[in-house]
Amino acid sequence: MPDYKTLTPEEAQVILHKGTEAPYSGQYNEFYEDGMYKCKQCGVPLFDSSSKFNSSCGWPSFDTATENAVKESLDSDGRRTEITCSNCGAHLGHVFRGEGFTEKNTRHCVNSISLDFVPRE
């Protein structure tokens, strides 16, 4: 069995039960240090800080995910695309395309509570 982190009730609400943290409340929303954002539950690298940008949406935004680290699936509402950790299935947030924020035209909108940040050495 994989070595998963024990989650707080708040972390479990988002990561396991597909909740959403309040906008502008997450610790990584206005955070721009150099390093790697990893899955809070299993530790897999998900997003490099070089792909983070300010979309002013209230949640951390990334235009690129680490290769094969993020799975996309249609949300239960049928309108949005949910993103989860490919390794453990942790709910991360949603991905949006065609908004024009970056040249890649992609915004992975991620709950801070789903992430752990590791500074680059």
On the 0-12 / 13-18 / 19+ scale of CB atoms within 10 A, 101 is middle
How far apart (Å, rounded) are the C-alpha atoms in residues 6 and 4? 6
How far apart (Å, rounded) are the C-alpha atoms in residues 35 and 97? 24
DSSP 32: -
Catalytic residue among 39, 57, 88, 109: 109
Helix (H) or strand (E) holding 94: strand 91-97
Closest CA to 119 of 42, 38, 26, 24: 38
Reply yes or no on whether 57 is catalytic. no
Active-site positions read 109
